[in-house]
């Protein structure tokens, strides 16, 4: 009799434990989703900060009308090709070869993608 009661107690305890595990998982899921959003938001913010330094010469949103330096809204591959060309020294430059050396190729790709998205 005693043993039976003990066994059923163990069984119900494990049921309580799996129920609380579900609660914990349910609580963790939205936290995890929002931390992913946070990581994406701060990555977006990082690209915007980099791009802001370019806008000093290339104009707000990358549009420097009348100077020939408009980069906003141009195809990503074209922009990236120029940036990598400056970095390798293949393209002659007065200024850009210095700027691009501060960024990895991956970062330049993200910056090119950002300016291309400014349609």
Under the rule (CB under 6 A), what is the footprint of ligand HEC? 50, 53-54, 56-58, 69, 71, 79, 82-83, 93-96, 99, 111
Shortest reach from residue 30's CB to ligand HEC, in Å? 36
> 100 exposed, middle or buried (CB, 10 Å; 0-12, 13-18, 19+)?
buried
Q: Which lies closer to ligand HEC via its Cβ, residue 12 or residue 102?
A: 102
Shortest reach from residue 53's CB to ligand HEC, in Å? 5
User: Residue 55's CB: how many other CB atoms inside 10 A?
Assistant: 17
> Would you say 84 and 111 are in contact if contact means Cβ atoms under 8 Å apart?
no
Q: Which lies closer to ligand HEC via its Cβ, residue 10 or residue 82?
A: 82
């Amino acid at each position: 009799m005693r043993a039976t009661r003990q066994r059923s107690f163990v069984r119900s305890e494990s049921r309580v434990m799996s129920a609380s595990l579900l609660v914990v998982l349910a609580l963790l899921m939205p936290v995890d989703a929002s931390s992913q959003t946070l990581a994406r938001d701060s990555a977006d913010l990082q690209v915007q900060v980099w791009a802001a330094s370019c806008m000093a010469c290339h104009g707000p949103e990358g549009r420097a009308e009348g100077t020939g330096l408009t980069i906003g809204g141009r195809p990503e591959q074209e922009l990236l090709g120029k940036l990598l060309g400056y970095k390798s020294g293949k393209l002659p430059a007065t200024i850009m070869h210095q700027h691009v050396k501060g960024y990895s190729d991956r970062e330049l790709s993200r910056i090119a993608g950002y300016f291309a998205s400014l349609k």
